[in-house]
Chain A
Amino acid sequence: MKSCMKNRIVSVLMLTTLAVASCAAVATTPSELNDLEIAHTAYVADNIDIQYAHLALALSTNPDIHEFARTMIRDHEAVNEQALALLEKLGAEAQDNFLSQKLIADSKSIIDNLTQLRGAEFDKAYADNELGYHKAVNELVADAFIPNIENPEVKALFEQGLKIFKQHEEHAAMMVKKLNE
């Protein structure tokens, strides 16, 4: 009888602990994301920029836009390859989260808008979006992700990624300036 009561108490305690852990695991702000959620968000953000780049290759005839778009595909695919290799090495799987979902939802409306445009209007909108997107993602990576990543290898990859994406931001700024001349 005593043993049965003890087991019930242990079970209740375990369930309570899991429930608390589960509540704590649901992040509602970027800085609350865990390493695997951050990895998922970054992977999604990379894929969104690759999608924008494919759209630019299909709709633009401007050689500068094409070159930039090819660089985005080349670099973001390389970053994602590194991220997947690291996750495999760590035996972990990236976790979907509110921010990944928000990025995907936002990208759908941006793609809808871009696909309505042609010529110089498209080029300008694509370049403006690339500048704004890289600026926003770089701030997120620098201020919310890197300070909160716990795994040193994941942190190192994000630090390397940030250097690449800062170059992209500068490249996009050059492109915007040239298109406005």
Chain B
Amino acid sequence: MWLSLTRRAALVCVAHLVFSGQLSATEVAQDTAANTGTNHRVYIEDMQFSPAKLQVRFGDTITWINNDFIPHTATAVDKSWNSKNLAKGEEFSLIVSDNTVLDYYCFYHPNMIAKIEILN
């Protein structure tokens, strides 16, 4: 339980720092590398998340990068995590924990849906 709360807190904290620009995606990647997690990239382009289904392990980092010229978000279906507005070229990262909600979508374009799958 304590570990679970810590992971959730870390996820929220890292996501916030990356979004607010206080921590770069590179710093997150280096931090995660120290924790032996793998870094994954999801590109938002042509009105799709690519890949739309991403397989990860707990502790891995996912970075979303918006390549479209219109803004998008990557938002959990229950809004427990949210990139908020991503303009072209902007990124958002989060570390996957056992509390991470796996189905997500673009809040602006609700037909853009995707999911994270946890590998055993």
Q: Indicate which residue in B46, B69, B71, B111 contacts A171 across the interface (CB closer than 8 Å).
A: B111
Partner of B47, one of A67, A74, A163: A163
Contact status B109-A167, CB under 8 Å? yes
Which chain B residues lie closer than 8 Å to A174 at the CB level?
110-111
Report B48 CB to chain A, min CB distance, Å. Answer: 9
Chain A positions 123-167 with a Cβ under 8 Å from a chain B Cβ:
160, 163-164, 166-167
Q: Bound state CA distance, A67 and B106, in angstroms? A: 12
- A74 contacts B109, C-beta separation under 8 Å: no
Binding site for A on B (CB under 8 A): 46-47, 68-71, 107-112
User: For residue A113, which residues in chain B have a CB less than 8 angstroms away from its CB?
Assistant: none
Residues of A within 8 A of B (CB): 67, 71, 74-75, 78-79, 82, 160, 163-164, 166-167, 170-171, 174
Q: Given A78-B69, A78-B71, A82-B69, is A163 in contact with B111 using a C-beta cutoff of 8 Å? A: no
From known contacts A75-B70, A78-B71, infer whether A163 and B46 are also in contact, taking CB-CB under 8 Å. yes
- Out of A78, A166, A171, name the residue touching B70 (CB < 8 Å): A78
Q: A71-B109, A75-B108, A78-B69 are in contact. List 5 more A-B contacts (CB 8 A).
A: A74-B108, A79-B69, A164-B68, A167-B112, A174-B111
Q: Can you name the residue of chain A whose Cβ is closest to the Cβ of B46?
A: A163
